[in-house]
Amino acid sequence: MSESTVVVFGDQPPVHLDRVADRAKVLVCDENSLPQALPAADVLLVWDFTSDAVRDAWPGEGPRPAWVHTASAGVDRLLCPELIASDTVLTNARGVFEQPIAEYVAGLVVAMAKDFHGSWELQRQRRWQHRETMRLAGTRAVVVGAGPIGRAVGSTLAALGVVVDLVGRTARPGVRGGDELPGLLPSADWVVSAAPLTDANRGMFDRTVFDRMKSSARFINVGRGPLVVEKDLTAALVARRIAGAALDVFEHEPLAADDPLWDVPGLFVSPHMSGDTVGWRDHLADQFQDNYERWCSGEPLLNIVDKRLGYVPVD
């Protein structure tokens, strides 16, 4: 194969792509230079996966990359009709974020069950106030999203003694279908959103869902922000129709300093960090370089996204 051109999109590109640089011409671009760089790219590495720039700049019928890799699990910020219809192969970062996100969810569940927030607040007030907390083993969790992240969340919670129902788009062994979700909600102590964002499930966690949950239940979203109707979640928390919630992803990011979500009672806010552990950028760069070597040698790429579904089909 002749020298290829790899375009890296992002203001802060990976610090090392040595294995790629030895075999290709590497160009780094930002939102302004991306439209001019795309037609010349054989491969596009989307390092800034929080931007819509790739979708906006996709060249349609003109010259375009043969392969696009995003350093993220979700691909909704990239997909446009022209990219979906093209023969460009799209891959994602499946395999990097699953266990860190599962550990983050487990941490939230333990913290909520054991009222760590209350203990910290009482310590701050220098008050000795004995309390009883929830026993985690034997509680029930409904994890919505049966991909790698949802499965990792489910197995991690199960290791803590939580009874887990995994819900996917369609039913299969070990996975309940989406049509079963309404019947599962009333008995759930924990409802965890770990689904990819598609047109079909945008806004799926709305007032109807929160009204079906019991008053002692908690909701956690580590999927995508637009899966949740935030005003409906806010109303449920303010009215104490559910006991609490944690959001790591939001419809609009970053969350503005004056956004009312910061002050919603019972809501834990974190800045889209559930999968980001020490060294995660190096893992992402290594994953891309491993796949690039496969591409150069003509081997099948790993983590190929079904562009019409919006995710990597589960084996």
Active site residue 253: yes
Residue 51: phi and psi, rounded to 5, are -100, 150
Beta bridge partners of 116: none
Beta strands in the chain (DSSP E): 4-9, 24-29, 43-46, 67-70, 89-91, 140-144, 163-168, 176-177, 190-193, 218-221, 244-247, 267-269
**Catalytic one of 253, 293, 294, 299:** 253
Return the residue matching tokens 């302004």.
Answer: 32
Active site residue 224: yes
Check if the beta carbon of residue 286 is closer than 8 Å to that of residue 264. no
Active site residue 272: yes
Return the residue matching tokens 């720039």.
Answer: 53
**Catalytic one of 140, 272, 281, 283:** 272
**Catalytic one of 77, 169, 224, 230:** 224
Cα dihedral: 264, 269, 271, 275 (round 10): -150
- Is cis: bond before 254, omega within 30 of 0? yes
Residue 128 is classified by DSSP as -
- 266: closest CA among 306, 222, 218, 215? 218
Residue 32 token pair: 């302004």
Residue 56 token pair: 């906006």
Active site residues: 224, 253, 272
